[in-house]
Amino acid sequence: MTTPDDNPQAMPPAEPADPPAPPPAETTAPSVEPAGTTTPSVELRAALAGVRTEVGRAVVGQDSAVTSLLIALLCSGHVLLEGVPGVAKTLLVRALGASLDLSTKRVQFTPDLMPGDVTGSLVYDARTAEFSFREGPVFTNLLLADEINRTPPKTQASLLEAMEERQVSVDGTPRPLPEPFVVIATQNPVEHEGTYPLPEAQLDRFLLKVVLPVPERDHEIEVLARHAAGFDPRDLAAAGVRPVAGPQQLAAARAEVRQVQVAPEVLGYAVDLCRATRRSPSLSLGVSPRGATALLATSRAWAWLSGRAYVTPDDVKALAHPTLRHRVQLRPEAELEGVTAESVLTTVLATVPVPR
C-alpha cells in the first residue's frame, strides 16, 4: 500500500510517515521469529484489506489513516484524528463504519454540550411516574467525537469511563456499551480560539494519534473530479461503499492478533524506546507504561496485517510515532527552540539499539 505520507511534500520534512504498506512476510529477518508461530488467516486479512478499497470509494489519498484506523479496531483502541478542516476526517469515519457494517454515531462537541448529552440520562415518565434511562449517542460501535477539544473538560471527561471500561454509569448503575466500541475523536491543530486542550490523562487513553495531511495535488484533482461527476459525501451508498466485513470477522481477527508472538528481545526493544523518552532532556513527560503496552498492541496488529504471527523490531519502529506522539510533553524551553514531539521520537528511534 502506498500512502500520501510517502511523498515528502505531503507533510513537512520533520514529520515522519505513519504506517506505510505492510511489508511482505518474507522480507522479515527470521531471527526474531519465535518457535511455534502460525500464519494469520488469509481470508480475514483479505476481508480487512477490502475495507481499504471500500473506504477509497469515498475518501481519496488517506490510505495511511485507513490503515491506522484498522490497527486501532484490531486492538480495541481509540483514535485521535488531527487535521485541518476539509481533509475528510468525518467522511473517513463514516465510510469505515459502512464498510465494516458497524453502527456509527456522530456528536458535535460544542461549549454548551453536557455530559448527559453524550452518555444518556434519566428521563421522568409521567405515565408510569418513574425514571427511565434514555441512551446517549455513546451507545454505538463507532463514536465520532467531532472537534472534541471544543467542549469543556467536564464533558470531555464523560468519555473517560466509556473509553476505559466500555461502560457508562448513570445514577450509580453501570451500563455496558456495544461490542466493538471505539471512539474516534477529531481536532483542528491550527485553530485554538474557544478550545479546551485535552488533559494528558485523557490523551493517554487514545491508542493512536493519526495526523491527516492535505492530499497531494493528484489526489486533490481526483477529489474535484469526483465532485464534478456528482459525488455526494452524504450518500455513501450511491458512492458504492458497501460492507465487506462485519463484527464477526473483526472479532475473529482480534483473536488472531492476540496470538501474535513477541520475542523477549523485541519486548525489550519496545520498553527501551519508551524508557528513553523519560530520559530525554527535551521532554517533561515521557511515555508511560500504558504507552509501552499500547506500542506492543499496535505492533502485533501491524505484524498480523503484514501476514506474520510474530513481531519484528521494524513493526515496533513503524508504529512508534502514531502510538507515542501524543503521550509525551515537551519542556517549554524545548518548544521555544523549535523541538517537536516528532523530532524527539525520531532521535530516540535513531539512538536506541535495535535487536538483531
Q: Is 74 left (phi over 0), alpha (psi -120 to 50) or beta?
A: alpha
Domain match, 249 and 264 both? no
Q: Which of 225, 253, 281 is the last residue of a domain?
A: 253
What pLDDT was estimated at residue 29?
40
Q: Which of 214, 231, 253 is the last residue of a domain?
A: 253
Whole-Å CA distances, 329 to 14, 117, 138, 286: 17, 31, 29, 7
* Spatial distance between the Cα atoms of 323 and 297, rounded to a whole number of angstroms: 10
Domain match, 281 and 224 both? no
What pLDDT was estimated at residue 86?
87
Q: Which of 194, 223, 253 is the last residue of a domain?
A: 253
Residues of the chain with pLDDT under 70: 1-40, 191-194
Domain match, 184 and 306 both? no
Is residue 332 situated within a structural domain?
yes
What are the phi and psi torsion angles at 183 (to 5°)? -95, 125
Whole-Å CA distances, 303 to 48, 62, 91, 119, 188: 14, 21, 27, 35, 31
Digit-coded pLDDT (tens) for 20-53 = 545 443 334 434 555 555 566 888 998 888 999 9
* Spatial distance between the Cα atoms of 258 and 251, rounded to a whole number of angstroms: 11
Strands 208-211, 79-82: pairing kind: parallel
Burial of 27 (0-12, 13-18, 19+ CB in 10 A): exposed
What pLDDT was estimated at residue 340?
93
What pLDDT was estimated at residue 251?
93
What are the phi and psi torsion angles at 75 (to 5°)? -100, 5
Find out whether the peptide bond into 180 is cis, omega within 30 degrees of 0.
Answer: yes
Pick from 170, 76, 81: which is nearest to 118 by CA? 170
What pLDDT was estimated at residue 55?
94
Digit-coded pLDDT (tens) for 112-159 = 999 999 999 888 888 887 888 889 999 999 999 999 988 888 888 889
Domain at 217, CATH number: 3.40.50.300
Domain match, 244 and 279 both? no
Is residue 27 situated within a structural domain?
no
Pick from 137, 113, 85, 138: which is nearest to 196 by CA? 113
Name the domain count of the chain: 2
Domain match, 137 and 182 both? yes
What are the phi and psi torsion angles at 322 (to 5°)? -65, -25
| 207: DSSP letter | S
What pLDDT was estimated at residue 332?
93
Domain match, 124 and 205 both? yes
* Distance of alpha carbon 187 from the chain centroid: 13
Domain match, 195 and 237 both? yes
Domain match, 188 and 244 both? yes
Sign (positive or negative) of CA dihedral 196, 201, 205, 208: positive
Pick from 242, 241, 325, 322: which is nearest to 283 by CA? 325
Domain match, 97 and 243 both? yes
Crossing angle for the helix pair 289-305 and 42-56, to the nearest 10 degrees: 100
* Spatial distance between the Cα atoms of 202 and 153, rounded to a whole number of angstroms: 10
Domain match, 294 and 275 both? yes
DSSP, collapsed to helix, strand or coil, labels residue 81 as strand
Domain at 281, CATH number: 1.10.8.80
Residue 325 belongs to domain spanning = 260-356
Whole-Å CA distances, 13 to 276, 277, 344: 23, 21, 14
Domain match, 270 and 248 both? no
Radius of gyration (C-alpha) of the chain in whole angstroms:
21
Burial of 287 (0-12, 13-18, 19+ CB in 10 A): buried
